[in-house]
C-alpha cells in the first residue's frame, strides 16, 4: 500500500500563486508557505505575504498511483524537482512536519525557533561555534545579546539569532 508524499516543483519567476491555482484546479493539493513581509518604498510602508521559498511550491501525490506528468505542463510550473530518470524526489516527512508546525494555514508564524531571555543556547557558527551561552536580550532586527560562557566567566556579545540553536 502506498501513500501520498510531498514533492517540490520549481515555478516560473513570481508565479507561485498562479501555479498553485492551476494545480488545485487539476485536483492536486499544494502548499506554498508564506510569511508577513514589510516593504518600504517612496515613504510608504506596506505589509504583504511573500513566499518563504520563492520559485518553489510543494505538491502532494503518490507517484505510483497518481497521474503526475501533467504537473510539468501546468501554467506557472517550470518542472518537478527529481532525478535524471524523471521520477520526482519526495520531501522528507520530518521537513514537511517542521514547516506545518510553524504555519497557521499557509502563513509561517515564526521563521525561527522561539527563543527567550534566560534560555540556554549553543552558538552554531563563528569562532565560538559549539560554545554555550545564555540569552540576555533580543531585539526586533534579529540581533541577540548573549552571555558567552568562556574563560571561566560570562562575556556579553551580540550575535544574529540565525547563528544560535537550542542547547
pLDDT in tens, 120-137: 988 887 788 888 899 998
Q: Residue 163 phi/psi, 5° resolution?
A: -90, 10
In a domain, 43, yes or no: yes
Shared domain check, 44 and 99: yes
Shared domain check, 130 and 78: no
In a domain, 115, yes or no: no
For residue 61, the number of C-alpha atoms closer than 13 Å in the C-beta half-sphere is 25
| pLDDT at residue 161, as a whole number | 81
pLDDT in tens, 145-166: 999 988 778 889 988 887 888 7
Write the CA distances from 157 to 38, 80, 142, 165, integer angstroms: 28, 44, 14, 16
Shared domain check, 101 and 142: no
pLDDT grade for 82, boundaries at 50, 70 and 90 = confident
Domain range enclosing 91 = 5-108
Tally of structural domains, the chain: 2
Q: What is the CATH number of the domain that holds 137?
A: 2.30.30.30
DSSP string covering 70-129, please? GGGGSTTEEEE-B-TTSPBPBPPHHHHHHHHHTEETTEES-SS----TT-EEEE-SSTTT
Length of the chain: 167
Sheet of 107-108, strand order: 44-51, 34-41, 107-108, 103-104
How far apart are the C-alpha atoms of 31 and 51, rounded to whole Å?
11
Task: State which of 59, 76, 108 marks the end of a domain.
Answer: 108
In a domain, 64, yes or no: yes
Shared domain check, 102 and 143: no
Shared domain check, 95 and 19: yes
In a domain, 114, yes or no: no
Shared domain check, 48 and 15: yes
Shared domain check, 124 and 100: no
Greater confidence, 135 or 116? 135
Burial class (CB in 10 A: 0-12, 13-18, 19+), 71: buried
Shared domain check, 124 and 49: no
In a domain, 18, yes or no: yes
Shared domain check, 137 and 93: no
pTM value surpassing 0.75:
no
How does DSSP classify residue 12?
S
In a domain, 104, yes or no: yes
Other C-beta atoms closer than 10 Å to the C-beta of 12 total 13
Range from 24-38, 100-114, 119-133, 148-162 that averages highest in pLDDT: 24-38
Amino acid at each position: 500500500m502506498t501513500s501520498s508524499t510531498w514533492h517540490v516543483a520549481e515555478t516560473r519567476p513570481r508565479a507561485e500563486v498562479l501555479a498553485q491555482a492551476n494545480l488545485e484546479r487539476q485536483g492536486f493539493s499544494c502548499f506554498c508557505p508564506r510569511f508577513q513581509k514589510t516593504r518600504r518604498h517612496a515613504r510608504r510602508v506596506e505589509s504583504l505575504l511573500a513566499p518563504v521559498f520563492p520559485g518553489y511550491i510543494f505538491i502532494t501525490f503518490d507517484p505510483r498511483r497518481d497521474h503526475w506528468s501533467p504537473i510539468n505542463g501546468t501554467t506557472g510550473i517550470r518542472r518537478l524537482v527529481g532525478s535524471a530518470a524523471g521520477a520526482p524526489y519526495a520531501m522528507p516527512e520530518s521537513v514537511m512536519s517542521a514547516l506545518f508546525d510553524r504555519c497557521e494555514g499557509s502563513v509561517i508564524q515564526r521563521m525561527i525557533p522561539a527563543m527567550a531571555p534566560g534560555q540556554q543556547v549553543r552558538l552554531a557558527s563563528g569562532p565560538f561555534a559549539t560554545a554555550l551561552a545564555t540569552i540576555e536580550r533580543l531585539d526586533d532586527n534579529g540581533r541577540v545579546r548573549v552571555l558567552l560562557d568562556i574563560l571561566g566567566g560570562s562575556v556579553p556579545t551580540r550575535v544574529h539569532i540565525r547563528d544560535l540553536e537550542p542547547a
